[in-house]
Amino acid sequence: MASDDPRQVELQSRILEGIEAAISVVGEIDAGLLDCSKRLRLDPSNETFTMLSAGVTNLGDLIALVQEVRKGVDHMESRPVPADAFASLEKSVDLFREMNAAMERKDWISLADLIQYELSPVLGEGKKEFAAVRDLLAAG
């Protein structure tokens, strides 16, 4: 970071803390949702839907964190993070709409497929994006 301004140093520190937290939970979110996708295929029970609800809440929290990190980076004097740093997570809105539509239709197989074949890879890319931003900020 080029600035010795304590506010900028604190901002960068907080952003890095958020990114580290996100990196640590993305895999957990992915694993939980993949477990849900298996359960949706075999046993769409109340327990499965409780797990799914928790996973969806965690996804919402992750997207909110991405937005907060983006806002924090925008307030930095030097902006070493490219505008498309979180492209995969920010573009996942359409996927969330598809998942919501499958839930409304009670089409558990389609929902399971969306989680396994589309959401899981997005989360994997998101984890890589978080790591890349962390590395850029740490180097800056």
Interval 86-121: pLDDT, tens = 788 777 878 988 999 999 999 999 999 999 999 999
Cα-based distances in Å from 84 to 17, 52, 76, 92: 20, 29, 16, 13
Q: How confident is the model at residue 1 (pLDDT cuts 50, 70, 90)?
A: very low
Over 60: is that where the pLDDT of 2 sits? no
Over 60: is that where the pLDDT of 22 sits? yes
CATH code reported for the domain at 6-139:
1.20.120
* Chain centroid, CA 19 distance in Å: 10
- Give percent of the chain with pLDDT exceeding 70: 96
For residues 105 and 91, give the distance between their C-alpha atoms in angstroms, rounded to a whole number.
Answer: 23
What is the residue extent of each domain of the chain? 6-139
